[in-house]
Amino acid sequence: MEYTEIDKTNLKKLSTVALGTWAIGGSDWGGTDVKQSISTIHHALDLGINVIDTAPAYGRGESEKIVGEAIKNIPRDSFYIATKVGLDWSKGDGLVYRNNTKENILKEIEDSLERLQTDYIDIYQIHWPDPLTPIEETALTMKSLLDAGKIRAIGVSNFSVEQIETFKKFAPIHTVQPPYNIFEQDFKNELLPYAKNENMTALYYGSICRGLLSGRMTAGSKFNGDDLRNADPKFQPDRFPSYINAVEALGKWVKESYGKSIISLAIRWLIDQPISGIALWGARRPEQLDAIEGVGGWKLTEEDYKTIESIVNKYVKEPVGPEFMAPPARTL
């Protein structure tokens, strides 16, 4: 396992692979199995992963509850919890709405601490920008939690550089969480160079592009119930085969070049980025993490990055990003 640290905090020696627990929450992923989820979290810790990323919105509290159950008897200083704030499902229509008001953050932190069975959160991240709340109000509230010791680092997810610059006038930002993987590089040119320059750590989400980069899918793969991949444009018949072809070609290249698998490549590709980063690997069954064995002990060169890009460009003629995931703003 390789490690990183978060600048201007006491968070040292964080594994560069974190467990992502959205699917463990069940909703948007066709359901969950609590026992299996807890085994997955324990297996992650056994493998040396010491960062667990969750959010209240995942399963509407269920993911945080499962994480809380899994970690309750484990020494608290042996792992880091990254959770989020600002998606509100109280309207009861099945959707989550952006809500970064002071009132909502101060309520949500108490709910998260209770579900997680802990008295502090290591990395507390604003899940999505909220156009209806002044960034100043959100930032000052986050700073008050940092000053009170309830959280140890402030993060923002899905924020633009401009929004980050405004936030930083009122509170520090230690981490950013954008979607980022071999197929989704929208944040390559602006956010990530900015974050590097500011010594922020990047927590990359969708590291294996919702399973696409696992190498286990075929163009005929089907997803159950409310699984978000049923709505994800990459997984629809007009684009899915081209992505599958790219995965096959990338898999062949990395096998021949390094004797590694495509899933190891997907994670290595993130860890070798020129910024302190952590790849969030979403898993809900213990064995899904076993491929972590292939992640360490090798490095991608600049030439490799170019080769990977040319393979993707050869097969994916109509690339599409993860924008379909963006939750709605509230209406006043």
The amino acid present at 276, given as its one-letter code, is S
- CB count within 10 Å of CB 80 equals 23
Phi, psi of 70 (to 5 degrees): -65, -35
Q: Which residues lie near ligand NAP (CB under 6 A)?
A: 20-23, 53, 127, 157-158, 177, 205-211, 214, 216, 263, 280-284, 288, 291
Q: Which of 27, 16, 82 is nearest to 55 (CA)?
A: 82
Q: How far is CA 8 from CA 175, 202, 228, in A?
A: 11, 14, 36
Residue whose CB is less far from ligand NAP, 142 or 147: 142
Structure tokens belonging to residue 282: 């979403």
Residue whose CB is less far from ligand NAP, 21 or 242: 21
Report the distance separating Cα 309 and Cα 248, nearest Å: 14
Does the annotation count 58 as an active-site position?
Answer: yes
Residue whose CB is less far from ligand NAP, 21 or 104: 21
Phi, psi of 299 (to 5 degrees): -140, 150
Per DSSP (E only), the strands in the chain are 3-4, 14-15, 17-20, 51-53, 80-85, 87-88, 97-98, 123-126, 154-157, 175-177, 201-204, 277-282
Report the distance separating Cα 331 and Cα 10, nearest Å: 39
- For the bound state, the minimum distance from the C-beta of residue 21 to ligand NAP, rounded and expressed in Å, comes to 5
- For the bound state, the minimum distance from the C-beta of residue 303 to ligand NAP, rounded and expressed in Å, comes to 26
> Beta 97-98 vs 87-88: how paired, if at all?
antiparallel
Q: Which of 58, 80, 124, 180 is catalytic?
A: 58
- CB count within 10 Å of CB 271 equals 19
- For the bound state, the minimum distance from the C-beta of residue 82 to ligand NAP, rounded and expressed in Å, comes to 8
Residue whose CB is less far from ligand NAP, 147 or 287: 287
Contact (CB, 8 A) for 19 and 41: yes
Structure tokens belonging to residue 242: 């081209």
- For the bound state, the minimum distance from the C-beta of residue 216 to ligand NAP, rounded and expressed in Å, comes to 4
- For the bound state, the minimum distance from the C-beta of residue 22 to ligand NAP, rounded and expressed in Å, comes to 3
Residue whose CB is less far from ligand NAP, 102 or 285: 285
Residue whose CB is less far from ligand NAP, 135 or 204: 204
- For the bound state, the minimum distance from the C-beta of residue 29 to ligand NAP, rounded and expressed in Å, comes to 6
The catalytic residues are: 58
